[in-house]
Every structure is written in C-alpha cells, then in structure tokens.
C-alpha cells in the first residue's frame, strides 16, 4: 500500500520542514497532506510538494518494501 504522506513526512523531517509549511507554501488546504495515504493527490499537487522538498515524485510515491532504511 502506498504511503505518500509517510514518505513526505520522512523527507520533510530530514530537511527540517514542517508539514504545515509545505501546505502553506504550496497553497494546499491545511490538513490535506495527511489524507494522502488514503486519497490520492492530484499530480499537480504532488509535483508542487516534490519540487518544494527537492525530491522526485517517484521518491514520494515509493512503497515501503519492509526493509527499512
């Protein structure tokens, strides 16, 4: 199962960026990112967040293989 929000949280934590600021800076509604594990985001929104965090869309879409880091 895809965990887009979990991936975003991981990247954001590594970069010292809050989820709140990602939403604000990318004009996404507050609390919208946390729903992305359940509801798929639009490509446009996903692209904005990936660019903001300086990662590829693929990295945010990566599924957990169970091996950890």
Tell me how far apart the alpha carbons of residues 4 and 7 are, in angstroms, rounded to a whole number.
5
Q: Tell whether the model's pLDDT for residue 33 goes beyond 70.
A: yes
Average pLDDT over residues 32-48: 95
Tell me the average pLDDT of the chain.
92
- Answer yes or no: is pLDDT of 22 > 70: yes
Calculate the alpha carbon distances from 64 to 2, 6, 18 in Å.
7, 10, 22
Statement: residue 56 has pLDDT above 90: yes
Q: What angle do CA 34, 38, 39 make, to 5 degrees?
A: 90
Instruction: Record the pTM.
Output: 0.87
Does residue 21 register a pLDDT over 90? yes
- Identify the residue whose tokens are 């300086």: 54
3-state secondary structure of 66: coil
């Amino acid at each position: 199962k895809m965990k887009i929000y979990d991936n975003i949280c991981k990247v954001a934590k590594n970069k010292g960026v809050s989820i709140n600021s990602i939403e604000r800076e990318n004009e996404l509604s507050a609390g919208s990112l946390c729903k992305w594990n359940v509801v798929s985001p639009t490509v446009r929104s996903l692209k904005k967040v990936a660019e903001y965090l300086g990662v590829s869309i693929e990295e945010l879409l990566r599924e957990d293989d169970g091996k950890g880091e």
